Amino acid sequence: MNSKKLLLTLLLSAILPSICWAQAVERVEPPSWWVGMKSPTLQLLVHGEQIAALSPKLTRNYPGVSLQGFTRLGNPNYLVLDLLITAKARAGSLPLQFSAPGKPTLKLDYLLQARTPGAALAQGFGPKDAIYLLVPDRFAKAVPQAKDSSLDGEDRANSNARHGGNIEGLRQHLDYIADLGFTQLWPTPLVENKGAHSYHGYAATDFYRIDPRFGSNSDYQQLVREAKARGIGMIQDIVLNHIGDKHWWMADLPANDWLNQGPAYSETHHARATLQDPHAAPSDRKRFSEGWFVPGMPDLNQRNPVLANYLTQMSIWWVEYAGLSGIRADTYSYSDKAFLATWSQRLMQEYPRLNIVGEEWSPHPAFVAYWQRGRQNHDGYVSHMPSMMDFPLHGALLAGLGESDGHDSGLTKLYEALAHDFLYPAPNNLVLFEGNHDTPRLFTALKQDPALYKMALVYLASVNRIPQFYYGDELMLQSPLQRDDGAVRPDFPGGWAGDTVNAFTGDGLSEPQREAQAFTRKLFNWRKTAEVVHSGRLMQYAPENGCYVFFRYGEKQRLMVVLNKSAQPVRLDTRRFAEMLTPQSSGIEVLTGTHQALGRELSVPARSALLLELAPEAVALPK
């Protein structure tokens, strides 16, 4: 190297460090916020090359807003800003700058928005609602996939690949969902998921961005608005426990303790009982909460206060940004317990009427009840979750209809599952599902028996729970009995151009499918106005002779529900139901419109379900 080149190299090496500091603010999260929130604090995660070498400040006075302080993380490419936004603050552009002597100054205009009127008290979903769950990638495609070399493409022949369903396809078929009688929509996660086999959405790579293969953030907002116009609320599926290994953090981790990672890879053993077991080994508890789901899903450490606050603000951001009626929290109990208590409390403080439902995949009512708000737990743990997925009753429903009846099997299991309602602070706010994206299809689980299928739907629509229905089960779609995620999440017939069967129009459906679709439509449209199902109490009678009977009742309405699994017609002696019926009682069967006298005897057809709205009469109802 000659002397001139050597001199130039030395000069550049001396200059470059001073000009490479924080060339830009690459990302700020949350990307925006609102004035008038219940909590006045806001924490911003700012990312940019070597930005920790700079100090932030407000460049001018902004009434009602002050920068309380900032924190440097383990990675010099991050700064955490703590803002106080008081009731005096107004919407506008918050002027921030980052500077240090001898370094370029960076400027950032941060958007503070006005809240939608009534956002804080918006009504969440509840017992009056019925939820339609779908997998967006498999529901309907209306526009070409976004072109992005970092995103895997479509392959409908591969059950574990992207099939191309998107927000526009879903938006175009909102009328179909509304026509079926459903009032809430739960899509599996729509946020960005890069990487193979990520069509399901449970491995986020960007918490604040709708996956471009589904559409844009504004497309999602439009979907929510149009759903609301049809009487449908939106429930967003949020994952707090883990991210995908292609998440943008993984290339530049804010701090080493943002992930649960020991000296060697450790996978969770899924022993959720360890969290309530008074005899559990501490190492087992630790492995359950801190072990990874799979190698491609890094486990988040919510004991880190900055990360915990990040996840909380992210959840609030989506509720406010999109106008949600609820959140479904995936793999709920796998996250840190203390964090979950704070997270649920913060959301309910900000949105007192919001509903949040957590996934605790356990067959034991005590384990599920542990997480519901108002439960007095043996270890003093206080949760603020309004709702949980009712896995115990789901299992009892399949067993009750699918097993032979005995003193501890079949319908007895269904009866005894409801007998455990004393464990729940609010059993009517639990979400009962006939199936979901992780379970075999209902029709398959019930041995492809149309009679049992109809009984399951009648139970789902009339018991004291919030019903959740899985897309395609109105067509009696099937799947393997063993776990096969791709097969249980098929393309919805008619969602793709060129489909020979179209469930939206009815073209190509078999006659049993048409009948099942019509049955679902009639049942859930009836439920929309059945106030006794929304708020009435429940009284059940022990099963006898293959028949199970329960009543929903209030001061003005009564409903009698009969499930007859027997292969023979049954003549029920209705004098057994004296608490609910008199010799003069009568009713109208909801699904057929036929009148039934209920004074002494009721004839129930073989393998059938009856929904009887009872005529008004003077009955001394139990208090």
Is 359 part of the annotated catalytic residue set? Answer: yes
Task: Look at residue 136 and give its three-state secondary structure.
Answer: helix
Residue 262 confidence (pLDDT):
84
For residues 240 and 329, what is the distance between their CA atoms, to the nearest angstrom? Answer: 7
618 pLDDT band (50/70/90 cuts)? low
Residue 199 confidence (pLDDT):
95
Residue 7 has pLDDT above 50, yes or no: no
DSSP-derived letter for residue 524 is H
16 pLDDT band (50/70/90 cuts)? very low
Paired sense of beta strands 586-589 and 570-573, if any: unpaired
Is 284 part of the annotated catalytic residue set? Answer: no
Residue 579 has pLDDT above 90, yes or no: yes
For residues 172 and 179, what is the distance between their CA atoms, to the nearest angstrom? Answer: 13
Residue 345 has pLDDT above 80, yes or no: yes
For residues 462 and 527, what is the distance between their CA atoms, to the nearest angstrom? Answer: 8
Comparing 147 with 28, the larger pLDDT belongs to 28
Looking up residue 547, the CATH number of its domain turns out to be 2.60.40.1180
For residues 64 and 80, what is the distance between their CA atoms, to the nearest angstrom? Answer: 20
User: Residue 559: which domain range?
Assistant: 538-614
Q: Which of 621, 594, 619 is nearest to 608 (CA)?
A: 594
For residues 29 and 574, what is the distance between their CA atoms, to the nearest angstrom? Answer: 63
pLDDT in tens, 380-400: 999 999 999 999 999 999 999
Residue 283 confidence (pLDDT):
94
Q: Which of 399, 397, 391, 400 is nearest to 436 (CA)?
A: 391
Whether 336 is in a domain gets the answer: yes
Residues 211 and 192 sit within 8 Å (Cβ to Cβ): yes
340 pLDDT band (50/70/90 cuts)? very high
Task: Write out the two tokens for 497.
Answer: 């151009």
Among 75, 95, 115, the domain-final residue is 115
Whether 2 is in a domain gets the answer: no
255 pLDDT band (50/70/90 cuts)? very high
Give the total residue count for the chain.
623
For residues 77 and 467, what is the distance between their CA atoms, to the nearest angstrom? Answer: 46
150 pLDDT band (50/70/90 cuts)? low
Task: Look at residue 219 and give its three-state secondary structure.
Answer: helix
Looking up residue 424, the CATH number of its domain turns out to be 3.20.20.80
DSSP-derived letter for residue 333 is G
Shared domain for 223 and 92, answered yes or no, is: no
Whether 3 is in a domain gets the answer: no
For residues 565 and 484, what is the distance between their CA atoms, to the nearest angstrom? Answer: 29
Among 94, 115, 136, the domain-final residue is 115
Residues 273 and 367 sit within 8 Å (Cβ to Cβ): yes
Task: Write out the two tokens for 11.
Answer: 């000069």
Q: Which candidate in 192, 219, 237, 330 is catalytic?
A: 330
DSSP string, 226-283: HHHHTT-EEEEEEE-SB--TTSGGGGS-S-GGGB---SS--B----GGGGT-TT--HH
Q: Which of 119, 124, 95 is nearest to 38 (CA)?
A: 119
Q: What is the 3-state secondary structure (H, E, C) of 394-408?
A: HHHHHHHHHCCCECC
Shared domain for 158 and 219, answered yes or no, is: yes
How many of the other CB atoms lie within 10 Å of CB of 406? 10
Shared domain for 129 and 63, answered yes or no, is: no
Residue 498 has pLDDT above 50, yes or no: yes
Residue 192 has pLDDT above 60, yes or no: yes
Percent of the chain with pLDDT over 90: 91
Find the mean pLDDT for residues 155-167: 95
For residues 521 and 525, what is the distance between their CA atoms, to the nearest angstrom? Answer: 6
For residues 87 and 44, what is the distance between their CA atoms, to the nearest angstrom? Answer: 19
User: What's the mean pLDDT when you consider all of the chain?
Assistant: 94
149 pLDDT band (50/70/90 cuts)? low
Give the bridge partners for 601, in sequence order: 573
For residues 404 and 419, what is the distance between their CA atoms, to the nearest angstrom? Answer: 20
Q: Which of 538, 563, 555 is nearest to 463 (CA)?
A: 538
Residue 236 confidence (pLDDT):
98
Shared domain for 188 and 75, answered yes or no, is: no
Listed in sequence order, the residues at least 6 apart from 101 whose beta carbon sits closer than 8 Å to its beta carbon are none
Find the mean pLDDT for residues 368-378: 97
Give the total number of structural domains in the chain: 3
Residue 6 has pLDDT above 70, yes or no: no
Shared domain for 155 and 217, answered yes or no, is: yes
Residue 270 has pLDDT above 80, yes or no: yes
CA distances in angstroms from 53 to 27, 72, 102, 250, listed in the order given:
16, 9, 11, 22
pLDDT in tens, 222-231: 999 999 999 9
Residue 21 confidence (pLDDT):
47
Shared domain for 525 and 542, answered yes or no, is: no
Q: How is the chain split among helix, strand and coil, in percent rounded to 5?
A: 30, 25, 45
Shared domain for 293 and 249, answered yes or no, is: yes
Among 476, 509, 532, the domain-final residue is 532
Shared domain for 109 and 138, answered yes or no, is: no
Phi, psi (rounded to 5 degrees) for 319: -60, -45
Find the mean pLDDT for residues 292-308: 96
Give the bridge partners for 329, in sequence order: 238, 358
| Identity at 508, one-letter amino acid code | G
Find the mean pLDDT for residues 577-587: 95
Q: Which candidate in 206, 237, 359, 360 is catalytic?
A: 359
Whether 60 is in a domain gets the answer: yes
DSSP string, 458-483: HHHHHSSSEEEEETTGGGT----SS-
Burial of 345 (0-12, 13-18, 19+ CB in 10 A): middle
CA distances in angstroms from 377 to 371, 374, 523, listed in the order given:
9, 9, 37
Paired sense of beta strands 78-85 and 65-72, if any: antiparallel
Give the bridge partners for 595, in sequence order: 588
Whether 604 is in a domain gets the answer: yes
Whether 548 is in a domain gets the answer: yes
Residue 370 has pLDDT above 50, yes or no: yes
Residue 377 has pLDDT above 80, yes or no: yes
pLDDT in tens, 456-490: 999 999 999 999 999 999 999 999 999 999 999 99
Whether 12 is in a domain gets the answer: no
Shared domain for 24 and 164, answered yes or no, is: no
Task: Look at residue 393 and give its three-state secondary structure.
Answer: helix
Shared domain for 81 and 128, answered yes or no, is: no
For residues 455 and 449, what is the distance between their CA atoms, to the nearest angstrom? Answer: 10
Shared domain for 488 and 403, answered yes or no, is: yes
Shared domain for 49 and 154, answered yes or no, is: no
Whether 284 is in a domain gets the answer: yes
Residue 1 has pLDDT above 60, yes or no: no
For residues 12 and 9, what is the distance between their CA atoms, to the nearest angstrom? Answer: 5
Find the mean pLDDT for residues 265-270: 94
For residues 324 and 120, what is the distance between their CA atoms, to the nearest angstrom? Answer: 11
Looking up residue 52, the CATH number of its domain turns out to be 2.60.40.10
For residues 540 and 393, what is the distance between their CA atoms, to the nearest angstrom? Answer: 15
For residues 528 and 533, what is the distance between their CA atoms, to the nearest angstrom? Answer: 9
152 pLDDT band (50/70/90 cuts)? confident
